[in-house]
């Protein structure tokens, strides 16, 4: 397996005007189009949290898209952490706010 096919995990927390603007659906649809697994959810503090697993190149694409957000959002900061993939997810979904 070549390095670009190695699976990784992206944990990102997005700050800004990111709730009530379709951000979760934006992430869900793009992650699904890339074949990634994991989840996206709103946080009670107004941020959005993402856990995604897949090939590093696809996670980089998702991260670029997250930094832009949907047209109605305004992203001020993205905190990211790279971790080894766990393989625990079968698909990408929206999770309940936490």
Q: Which of 5, 9, 41, 42 is catalytic?
A: 42
Would you call 90 a catalytic residue per the annotation? no
- Please report, for residues 46, 47, 61, the alpha-carbon distance to residue 98 in angstroms, rounded to integers and kept in the order given: 10, 10, 26
Would you call 24 a catalytic residue per the annotation? yes
Q: Which of 5, 9, 24, 67 is catalytic?
A: 24
| Distance separating alpha carbons of residues 16 and 32, to the nearest angstrom | 23
Place of tokens 């047209």: 71
Give the active site residues: 24, 42
């Amino acid at each position: 397996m070549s390095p670009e096919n190695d699976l990784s995990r992206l944990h990102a927390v997005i700050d800004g005007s990111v709730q009530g603007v379709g951000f979760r659906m934006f992430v869900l649809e793009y992650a699904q189009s890339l074949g990634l697994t994991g989840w996206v959810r709103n946080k009670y503090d107004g941020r959005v949290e993402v856990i995604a697993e897949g090939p590093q190149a696809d996670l980089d694409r998702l991260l670029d898209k997250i930094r832009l957000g949907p047209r109605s959002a305004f992203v001020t900061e993205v905190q990211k952490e790279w971790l080894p993939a766990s393989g625990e997810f079968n698909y990408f979904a929206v999770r309940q706010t936490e």
